[in-house]
């Protein structure tokens, strides 16, 4: 059974800092890995998807990396802004397109 762990559970940084969110998974036989953002009281917004054959994927100030062999992914956020404050979820699809989610990292960027 796939297990997904996200560290840290919460993070508070001053505006402008670069930061890294971590995700680890136990079963390395994955299609891809998806990072989501969730604002309080809202649904999930897809940020980045890395295919199993890729090592990195970039979108604006976000960069996600994937190391299948070690079962790890990182989400790097450059020059953080208060608008980046949200919970970030890592998701790993498995059989029958079912997805296992981490509990998330709650990020607060302080102006």
Partner 1 sequence: DAGITQSPRYKITETGRQVTLMCHQTWSHSYMFWYRQDLGHGLRLIYYSAAADITDKGEVPDGYVVSRSKTENFPLTLESATRSQTSVYFCASSEVAEGKNIQYFGAGTRLSVL
User: Which of these ranges, 15-23, 59-67, 71-79, 101-109, lies near partner 1 under the rule CB under 8 A?
Assistant: 101-109
Based on the shown chain and the rule CB under 8 A, indicate whether residue 26 belongs to the binding site for partner 1.
no
- Which residues from 54-83 bind partner 1, rule CB under 8 A? none
- Whole-number CA gyration radius for the chain: 13
Residue 1 vs 111, nearer CB to partner 1:
1
Q: Which one of residues 10, 78, 103, 110 is an interface residue with partner 1 (CB under 8 A)?
A: 103
Strand positions, DSSP E, the chain: 4-7, 10-14, 19-25, 32-38, 44-51, 56-59, 62-67, 72-77, 86-93, 99-101, 105-110
Based on the shown chain and the rule CB under 8 A, indicate whether residue 102 belongs to the binding site for partner 1.
yes
> What's the rounded Cα separation, in Å, for the pair 91 and 32?
9
Minimum distance of partner 1 from residue 103's CB (angstroms): 4
């Amino acid at each position: 059974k796939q297990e997904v762990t996200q560290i840290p559970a919460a993070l508070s940084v001053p505006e402008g800092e670069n930061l890294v969110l971590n995700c680890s998974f136990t079963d390395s036989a994955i299609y891809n890995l998806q990072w989501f953002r969730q604002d309080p009281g809202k649904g999930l917004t897809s940020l980045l998807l890395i295919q199993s054959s890729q090592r990195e994927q970039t979108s604006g100030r976000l960069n996600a990396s994937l190391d299948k062999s070690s079962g790890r992914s990182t989400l790097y956020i450059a020059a953080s802004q208060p608008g980046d404050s949200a919970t970030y979820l890592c998701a790993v699809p498995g059989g029958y397109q079912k997805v296992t989610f981490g509990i998330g990292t709650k990020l607060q960027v302080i102006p």
